[in-house]
Amino acid sequence: MAWLLVIVAGILETGFAVCLKLSHGFTRLWPTIAFSCFALGSFGLLTLALRRLDVGPAYAVWTGIGATGTAIYGMIFLDDLVSVLKIVSISLVIIGVIGLQLSGSTR
């Protein structure tokens, strides 16, 4: 259950990063409100998950999902540059997160 919270928190991190861009420096009301809701939800769920999980792997999964999701969303919907280097870098983030997961836990 704790890992499910981390996954949902990571998806919400993608939401708050995208809304941060769309808020144009907090000058647009609805993206700013959405940013706040996504950020509170993301940090709240991560906080709950960290009660049961080691911080390193949980944080890596959270940021990995957020970074990967945000980059992919930007390339698909926000006309961000798509390049081989960007795709390779996203792949390396995913590989790093998987590596941390496979390294195991001491608990």
Neighbours of 93 (CB within 10 A): 16
pLDDT in tens, 61-84: 999 999 999 999 999 999 999 999
Instruction: Look up the pTM and report it.
Output: 0.90
**3, 17, 1: which is closest to 66 by C-alpha?**
17
**21, 105, 107, 106: which is closest to 61 by C-alpha?**
105
Please give the Cα distance from 49 to 32 (Å, whole number).
26
The C-alpha angle with vertex 44 and arms to 24 and 14, in degrees rounded to 5, equals 40
What is the average pLDDT across 39-54?
A: 97
50 vs 98, residue with greater confidence: 50
